[in-house]
Amino acid sequence: EIQSGRESFYTLSKVAFQDTFLANHGGYLGFITFGDMVPEFEEMVFYTEPGKVSRPFKTPFGWHILSVESIQKDMLPSEDDFQINRDRIENKIRRVKKEKFLSGFYTSLVEKRKVRPDMGGVRALSHLIMSSRITGKSLANNIQAYPSEALFEEVLNKSQDIWDKPVVYVDDDFLSLIDILPLLERVPLALLYRNPSQAVLFAVRDELVYQMGLERGLDKHETVQMKKGVRRKDWLSRQFVASLTDTMNIHYPPNLNKDEKNRYAREVQNTLIHQTYLDLRQNARIWTDMNKIYAHYDNIK
């Protein structure tokens, strides 16, 4: 309908978007730049020409379409601009490196532990979730008291024959429907309703990270001790993930004086600002490869 001109992106987004804020504002996100969104979303933003609507694409949060209204290019920064924004720029580069590392860590963890959903079990879980939803009560986030206790109990009773059904396999074992429900407390409800298979993978992945944190003794951390229930598990997992990335930094080539370091960092900044996004992502990868960093610096001296 958008491509035919019968409807505008703005009017359709007000009725189609699940996110209330985006729906109320016609899907408007404002200007975004490198590192602001998940990689899949950003790649489509920078791939789409102004005035065009993208093809449907998928991120870990579901399916999307987007429309690019305009592109805003930064002017070349002065030395004063660079010094004022240096900490912010370095933090953004560091954050992108951390996100890339953690993405690889999670992927490797899921592969190593052979985490894979059982599609029959996921369908049973999806049916149970949708059935419980009409009762006004969430199976996974059973936090508030709702008036429809009787209807909720009826749904649970009718589901007893599938409680032991495998939903996800881990290593050579499996988690049943009754096993997985407590883990889903940590998964956003929107993802749970929209993509139960992805929600199950996230829940199991987070539980594995939590167990790794326990093995490292992070349950004794003061911040973790202050939390309760699900929040304690979340904070323990955060502490473990932080321990994997807290030593990450921007590494400069050796034997540079202060002026050379500033010149090198400015080259990184200018590359991040002024390349097209697809080139940008390639350059962002290059900065994590020290041999390529040295070669790049040799070329610009």
Lowest mean pLDDT among 28-32, 202-206, 219-223, 239-243: 28-32
Q: What is the pLDDT of residue 22?
A: 64
Select the more confidently predicted residue: 190 or 282.
Answer: 190
CA-nearest of 187, 198, 175 to 63 is: 198
The size of the chain, in residues, is: 301
Q: What is the pLDDT of residue 251?
A: 62
How does pLDDT run across 114-151, given as a tens digit for each residue? 999 998 888 888 877 776 665 555 555 543 444 455 65
pLDDT in tens, 90-112: 777 777 778 778 888 888 888 99
268-290: buried (b, 16+ CB within 10 Å) or exposed (e) per residue? Answer: bbebbbebebeebbebbeebbee
Q: Are 64 and 56 in contact (CB under 8 A)?
A: yes
Beta-sheet strands, E only, within the chain: 57-59, 62-64, 116-117, 166-170, 173-176
Backbone angles phi, psi at 69, to 5 degrees: -85, -45
pLDDT of 170 reads 92
pTM: 0.55
Residue 114: its pLDDT value, please? 92
Long-range pairs of 105-108 with CB within 8 A, sequence gap ≥ 24: 105/244, 106/205
Q: Domain extents for the chain?
A: 9-64, 79-108+251-300, 113-245
Alpha helices, DSSP H, located in 184-228: 189-194, 196-215, 222-225
> Residue 176 and residue 164: Cα distance in Å, rounded?
5
